Copies of this chain bind each other. A is one copy, B any other.
Amino acid sequence: MDIYNLSSRELGLLIYLAQNRAIDKEIEVTTTQIAEFFSISQQTASRCLLKLKEERIILWKSSPKGSLVQLTPTGDSILHQLRFELERALHPDLTSIKLRGVAFSGLGEGKYYISRASYFKEFTSKLGFKPYHGTLNLRINTNDIDRLDLIRGSWPIIIKGFEEEGRRFGDVLCYPLKIPKKTANVAGIIPRRTHYGSNILELISDVYLREILDIVDGDEVVVEFTFEKKKGN
C-alpha cells in the first residue's frame, strides 16, 4: 500500500480518525459527522469509509444506528509512511537517524526464526549477507522510540511470511543499519504486526555482534539508519 495511491479525502479521513484515537480502539462515528467536518456529502463520506474498509485500512462495523471504526495495522503504517516522507521533505539535510538501546537476552525466538529455512533464504538473498544464527535484542531508549517509529515509516525490505507445520509465520520487516565505526552488515528486524511505539528492535548481522561489539546484557548499543535516495517501494 503506497500512500500516493490514496485520495486526499481518504488520507484526511484517516488522519481524522487517528486524531480521534481510532488507532488504539474502536470509535463511534457517523457518516454525517464526517461529512460536516470535511464539507462533503454524507454519501461521499459513506463511500470513503467503504473504500478504506475494502482496502483493509480500517475495520468498520456499520449499522442503522451508527458505526464503529478502528484503524488496521495497515492504516497505522500508512500514517507513519506519510510522516516519514514529510519529515524528509521538511528536513532534506537529515541523512541518518541514530538510535540508542540496551542489549538484552530474549527467549531465543530470534535464533529460532532465523533458523527457519524459508526465512534464512530470503534474509540471505534480500539483505545480501548470510545472517549469523542469532539476534541481538535491543531495548530502545524511551526518548528514541519516536525515532524508531520514524525509521519504521520508511520503505523496508520485506521478508515474506509463510505457513508451515500448521503455524503461521508472519512477514518480517528489515531496516538496513550501521554500527558507528564498525563494518559489519547489520539490519534491524521487526515483525510486521508489531504495534508502533514498541521499544524492541532485534539486530541481525553477518557476524556475532556480541563478540564484535564486545558487549553483554545491559550494555548500550548505538545503531544508525541512513536514508536512501528515494522511496523505493
Interface residues of A (CB under 8 A from B): 3-4, 6-12, 14-16, 18-21, 23, 38, 79-80, 82-83, 85-90, 92, 149, 196, 230
Contact = CB atoms under 8 A, between A and B. Distances in A.
A19 B92 contact: yes
B86 A90 contact: no
DSSP majority for the A interface?
helix
Nearest to A15: B89
Number of copies: 2
A19 B79 contact: no
Contacts of A82: 86
Given A6-B8, A8-B6, A18 B89 contact: yes
Contacts of A19: 85, 88-89, 92, 230
A85 B4 contact: no
